[in-house]
Amino acid sequence: MAGGALVNSGSGKEYPGKLTLYVLVTCVVAATGGLIFGYDIGISGGVTSMDSFLEKFFPEVHRKQQANRSTNQYCQFDSQLLQTFTSSLYLAALVASFFASGVTRAFGRKWSMFGGGVTFLVGAALNGAAKDVAMLIIGRILLGIGVGFANQSVPVYLSEMAPARLRGMLNIGFQLMITIGILAANLINYGTNKIKGGWGWRVSLALAAVPAGIITVGSLFLPDTPNSLLERGFPDRAQRMLRRIRGTHDVGAEYADLVAASEESKLVENPWANILQRRYRPQIIMALLIPFFQQLTGINVIMFYAPVLFRTLGFGSNTSLMSAVITGLVNVFATLVSIFTVDRLGRRKLFLEGGAQMIVCQIVVGTLIAIKFGTSGEGHFPKGYAAIVVLFICAYVAGFAWSWGPLGWLVPSEIFPLEIRSAGQSINVSVNMLFTFVIAQAFLTMLCHMKFGLFYFFGGWVFIMSLFVFFFLPETKNVPIEEMVLVWRKHWFWGRFIADNDVNGVEKPKSGEK
């Protein structure tokens, strides 16, 4: 068995070619799909903490909040309707990602991105012009459809355009765009909250049109990926495109592998039935558990509701939004850390360090809140005390941003063999959206009932997922995707699911070469 040599495998194929400017530009344009996802994540929390917005659409929540100042702070924002505003987007995205995979396959990745962009635009317009809750929620659903299409097609596009050895880094570029989108939304909310006249929230919601416009127009200029051209029956164009994006004529080996992979995947008639085979058990468990765990870190409590959370803790409306800007900045810069370390330190070290950091911060934050607010929810933070809470929340965000944030997308994308890669990816996207939805829908109610214990609750989950990583997630750094099965095979637990002839498959010449 190839054993240890695999982990820093020099045995992987290195195709000729470089990172061309052309690929860099196309990848940056495509990654703006992440920008839109991030903008959506960041905008709703800020908007729902604005008085004028609450007054217009959720007057009951607003009344309760005004009346409640000195009583139970934990429950002042608890409203199913308010949560539906935030969470409807993710349910729509979940459903849309399944449809998107069909479009992506039949018409190419760029048309999925274009469709996603146009839907965003309409959603942004509806939201900006909203007169009632129905218009708001329909707008959110349209944005969600856009997110579903973009999240399905953009990562696939990036992986197919990127030279193999830079795939990890470019993959985290998508996450970086997500965090930039969140930060932009936080900054915009901070600015529009200052607008007198109570229409600032309209500007926040309508500005989703900017990233939507970028991806809509940008996608029209994006070339098709060679894989997609091959899949759709244009071999000559595929080969020309490969030469152009690699900046060399010497693409024979890579092209042959693309043809082989495309032939092989055509042999699999139903990837959904295939994925249930015993030998894919490790990957399917990861595709279910990694996105589930990512959301159970509790990160979106901060991303969606930071301003609401900070207001709950007694910060003013303006200070709350400012604190959200600070966590947004930490999120972006900490993501850069993972870009530069993920291929050197490896995935497991980042997962485990980030996890430990998050657990400590969650316990500290929960305890600091418990001390001042107890179980009655009555109290407030003195200034210096509040600063310490924000500090620990920032350290928690940083821990997430170099572990479960990027790796929650990277790891599932690199562990699937080609024949089930797209099915596996849609499972990953939809599980992620499902639990994003659940957290968005349940958080305010959970805060009301579990109080400071909510932070211990998520801390407990981070503990469980760290144990899971420690025992069950093998290191995948530098392992060529086609040889990933060997990593599972030599794992103490997963090895039993993989028979010898499953492993032999990777060493045999691909079927297209015979």
The residues of the shown chain that bind ligand BGC, judged by CB under 6 A, are 41, 175, 178-179, 182, 294, 299-300, 303, 331, 405, 408-409, 432, 436
- φ, ψ for residue 109, nearest 5 deg: -65, -35
Helix or strand (DSSP H, E) at 211:
helix 209-221
Answer for the pair 168, 410: CB distance below 8 angstroms, yes or no: yes
Backbone conformation region of residue 302, classed left if phi is above 0, alpha if psi is from -120 to 50, else beta: alpha
* DSSP three-state, residue 71: coil
Shortest Å, Cβ 113 to ligand BGC: 18
- Min dist. Cβ of residue 212 to ligand BGC (A): 18
* Amino acid letter, 324: A
Nearer to ligand BGC, 147 or 245 (CB): 147
Check residue 15 and give left, alpha or beta (phi > 0: left; psi -120 to 50: alpha): beta
Measured from the CB atom, the residue of 175 and 425 that comes closer to ligand BGC is 175
Closest contact distance (angstroms) between CB of 403 and ligand BGC is 10
Largest CA distance in the chain: 76
Name the minimum Å distance from CB 37 to ligand BGC: 8
Quick check: 258 and 15 in contact, CB under 8 A? Answer: no
Q: Which C-beta is closer to ligand BGC: that of 310 or that of 381?
A: 310
Q: Which residue is nearest to ligand BGC (CB)?
A: 303
112/175 with CB nearer ligand BGC: 175
Pick 305 or 409: Cβ nearer ligand BGC:
409
- Least distance in Å: CB of 433 to ligand BGC? 9
CB of 414 to ligand BGC, least distance (A): 15
> Measured between alpha carbons, how far is 179 from 164 in angstroms, rounded to an integer?
24
Nearer to ligand BGC, 227 or 441 (CB): 441
Tally of CB atoms within 10 A around 133: 15
Residue (144 or 314) nearer to ligand BGC, CB: 144
Nearest to 483 by CA among 160, 15, 162, 9: 9
CA distances, 445 to each of 97, 380, 423, 442 (Å): 28, 20, 34, 5
Q: How far is the CB of 67 from ligand BGC (least distance, A)?
A: 32
Alpha-carbon span 32 to 181, nearest angstrom: 9
CB of 187 to ligand BGC, least distance (A): 15
* Contact of 425 with 283, CB cutoff 8 Å: no
Q: Which is nearer to ligand BGC, 133 or 438 (CB)?
A: 438
Burial label for 199, CB within 10 Å (0-12, 13-18, 19+), is middle
